[in-house]
Each structure stands twice: as structure tokens, then as C-alpha cells.
Structure 1
């Protein structure tokens, strides 16, 4: 890292005008900028576009909770083998900590960042026992809440004579979301995804174990870069062949991140994700008699009428209500946590004023 790093070299890693403006505004020396390719506990593989090396976070990052801890995809400032700072993220893909789904405690739910600075999220679902429309709705809501752009990837199309029926179901569920029907065995449909992996673009994959994420990564790369394992025919579950989150440089210059399978999709933040995922329910709600209709029992509810007429599947509405409750808890916890922080801050101010008054009396 002794010679000058051009912005063009960083752009090949996903450095954009957004980060260039940030560097200018904050007087950041781009010669010290690197991107996190993978995270393994307290060791991070980083690259500046010319070389790769291992770094550890500085003591300040490790001991100050208010500072962002590095995750795969982050842009960081490095000094030799130490990460001194995580640059402000364009976005962060995160979920609630494992075991928190459905809990209604008063405490704020801890976030588990999965990836940072991502352009596209591939929501991967296999057309076997992994296929679950309700789970897909949860994943889409998670992605939207994080301010990211989803693309649905259906894998294992070769298992069916007419896989287009699955495509129709998903396109009816995810209005406006691109859907790719693929098979990693014969490569069909995979070409649709290359456009999301052009130079400077970053995509990551999420889905359950055995959905075919690693096989898809291998197909997109053109070689076996990720280990794969067969899905158990007895239980329909895959083994966790991917155990870390690694950014892989693809042949077209983009970067792809494979992720360990997600068993539990817990929300850590609220947002507009529910409205985006259930745009059909939002559109129907405009015709409800009451503006604050809950779509549960009110007379003149256009949403309930759509269920009765068969236009809207009752399972979809039930999942909407379920996630609405969960996100309501998340929002309440967040507000309570923020209120506690504010009260603690003013308590500290009051204590300082008292100390100052005592000193004056002396």
C-alpha cells in the first residue's frame, strides 16, 4: 500500500460516486481504503483492488459499541494490518438475532448484520421441498426493510416437467420483482443474472440451506468456487456447506456473496418492506370503507372481500397480519430503546449541572 490507489481501481470493487463524494467531504485518503471480502470472527480479509491481506479491527472498534463492527462488503480505512474505521454504509442487510423471532419482550432486538453496500439481493428458493411462498414473503420484506433491491431466483427447475407453474405463482406474489427460473445442472436461466454482476456491482444471495446458492455461484463463476452438498431426500434439508460470508470476484467484474442458509427470518428493523411486499393488499385497501381498516372484521373491507371472492389467498393475508404484528413489536422496541437513550443522556446532563452547582457553592 505504498503507491497511489486510483479511484478506478476501487470502482472495480464497487466504489461509487456516493463513496467518492463521501471521501471528498470527509477528507478520506483513498490510499488507505480497502473493502472487506470476508469476515472470520476477529480476522478480516480485505483488498484494495491490487492485493489481499488479513486485518484485525483496532482496539477502538472492538471496545466502542457505538462504532460499526466490520462485516463483509464494508469499505474500511486500514493502517497496515489494522482496520481503523468503517466508512458509513450505503445500506446494510441485517436480521434479528437468532432465537428472537416471535419474542415480545420490551427490549430492542439486536441486529445481526449480514452484508453491507449491496446493489442486488438474490432471494434463492429451490423448486423442491424448499419452495415456500410464505417464507419468500418474509425474505422480500426483510430485503425491502433494509432498503435493498431483490431479485428472486428459482433453482432446480430441472426437477419438474413444467416449472413455469412455479414461475407464475411467484410472479403473482412478487409484483414488479424480477424472477429468474434456473437450473444449475444445464445452466438454463442463469444468463439472466449476469447483468447484476457487471463490473463494480455487488450482489448477495440469501435463502435456506440446500436452496442451491453455492451451486448457483459455481455456475455464475464458471468453475467450482463453492462447496456443495446434496439435499437429504428424507427431510428435504441441505447441509450448511457455506459457513462464512465471502465476496467472490466474478468473471464480468462484479462481486457475489454467498451466505450460510437462514433458518430463522427475524426482523430487526421496521420500514416500508411490508407495503412493498404486499402491494396488492395495499391497493385493495384503498377501496375499504374505513381509512384505518385493519382488514380483520370491518364491514366494507375490500381486502376481506377479495379473500371471500378468491382473488386474494387467505394464507397471504394471514402472513401479512403476522408480519405486521412482528414489525409493530420491532418498532415499539426501537422507540422504547431510543427513549431510554434520550432519558439517560439528559440524566447525565442533569448530574453534570448538579456537580457544577456544587463547585460554585464551594
Structure 2
């Protein structure tokens, strides 16, 4: 009888394992098919060249990473896990060609095509602190820390920050925090571990920026799995009693790859911030659809509909802003990078006389023309969401 039970349990385990393998394989095949076979920027794209004369204003950004050094030429951080290192990078934007209708083309799916690397230098931690402080002081700017998502190599993340900086204008000192992603479509679980590995280093970076720039605004933008890393780091800092670091931050979660129940628990610990946290959602985000399939069909925060009662409850209880950016153009069929287009629209809207309203807690919807509609957390929010 005992052997029969063990056999039945073993059969059930094998059947479950087989089902999970099939479901996971199907999801990953779909993701790889959607991603296509586009070439990724290699190390050579970060080889500095002579700066072209004229053209758009150059961009300077900083990178902090706990990736181990890679073997490419020129050397760039790879997918291995190491200690935090620092560098400064300079880029010259390439002029964007006009389209047939006379309009300038939007963000490119491969931002490495839009910039020329004109300088790189490794820095010590004190040199990094001093240079960021100098730029923040001399230009009176916000410091913006960007945390990339799943399946990114280092150079992709660097160019994404350059693109984000170009789209939003000269409003921040940009800093990339690059954690050790495997940069493979099949590396989802490995990337989750890599993001967890980086949590302490991101916490230390935010503490140092806060202590060195108390009079400055510090924005933290987490994309996809990077949003999970941001929330885990804020939770850790709050539990360590570092409300002095957490409370002043301006936090944006773009297409957050976070289980809805996990997000609720994280938010209960992090609590409301002085500037309401912004969460960017898109109900047709195909990457997050695959992520949900890999997670047993559980909804991810980033592709929740605007009228989802669980999302609304978390946002209302913690004074958040929820932006539905489904109508914002994406650069590819995955619909996972709409935050780039949203950043430019938000920056423009914040400049007009209605901009202050965008900083209040509530729900916001971008219509097909890019106009931003808003409502408080009440029955109107459900109407805004289409129910």
C-alpha cells in the first residue's frame, strides 16, 4: 500500500514537472519568436571615437554595476556577478532623419543606433561621488537612477539610459544601475537570482546618493524586473530604518514585472512616499504576459488593466499614481518599452500649467492623441478604466 502511494505521488510529480516544462517552453518560444533575431549591440559599440563636429548636445551618464568584467574588446561588464564598479560615459546623439511626412522619427528599438560613444573612463567610488555631486550642483539637476529589466546586456542598458535622457531633455544627471542579467531570453529564472544578488548594492548606492546630495531630488526608475529590484530595495531600506533615504525618492515603476500579491506586501512595508510613486501599466504588454504564464498564470502589475480592483486598492492605500500607457506607441511588437515614449509626453505635460496635477495620487490615462486624463480614487477611476 505504501509503495502504491509512493508510486502515485511520483507519477503526479512527473506529470506536474512535464506540464511545467511544456508551459515554460511554450512561453519562452513565444517570447523568443516575438523578440525576433535582431542583432544586439556588442562591446564595440562602447569603443570611443572622435567626437563629430556640431550636431545635438552631447550626453554624459554614469554607470554603476555589480557585473563581473567580461572578455570582449573593448572590455565591458558581462553577465557574471562581481563587486560594484563605476564609470563615466559620453555620447553624441546622431541626428534623426525626417520621415516622408516631415516628422522626426520616434525612439528606436535599438538605441545604440542613435548615439556615438565619444568617451569612457573607469572611476573609483570617491571619484564617482565627487563628479556626480559636481554636475548636480553646477546644473541644479535631479539625479536619475535607472534600473534595467530582464534580458539586458550592459551596453544595451547603457544606450537605453542615453535614449531616456535624450527623450526627457536636460533635466537630470543620469545614472545606470546595471545588475548581472544573463541577457538571454531563456534566462528568466537566472535573471531573478541576478536581481536578488544586486539588491544590497542598489541599497548602498541610494544611501550614498542620499547622504551626498540631501538638497537634490533623486529619482529612481525601475523597468520590468528592475522594478521588482527597486521595490525589494526600498522594502529592505525601510526595514533597516532608513526612511531618510526612502521617503524623499521619486520612484517610477515602468511595466513592473511583479506579482500583484507580492506588490501589495512590498507596498505595505514601503508605504507612501512624499512624492506619490508612479506605476506605468499597459494591458497588452506581451513580455509580461509571458512572465505571467511562467509564474502559473498570475497577473503582473505592469499589464493589469487600469480598473483592476487589486491595483486600485494598493495604489489608494499607499498614495500612488497609476498611468495607463497602452495608447503610447511602442518600438516593437512586444509593447514592453512604452515608458520611453511616455517619458517625453510626461515631461511636456509637466511643463504646462496643468502639470502640477500629474503629481497627485490617482489614476491617469493617455488617450490616442497623447492627452493625459486623470481622476481620483473613486467611481470615476473605474469609469476611466472602461468599466
TM-score by length of 2: 0.24
| Larger helix percent | 2
Which of 1 and 2 has greater Rg? 1
Structure with the greater relative contact order (CA < 8 A, sep ≥ 6): 1 or 2?
1
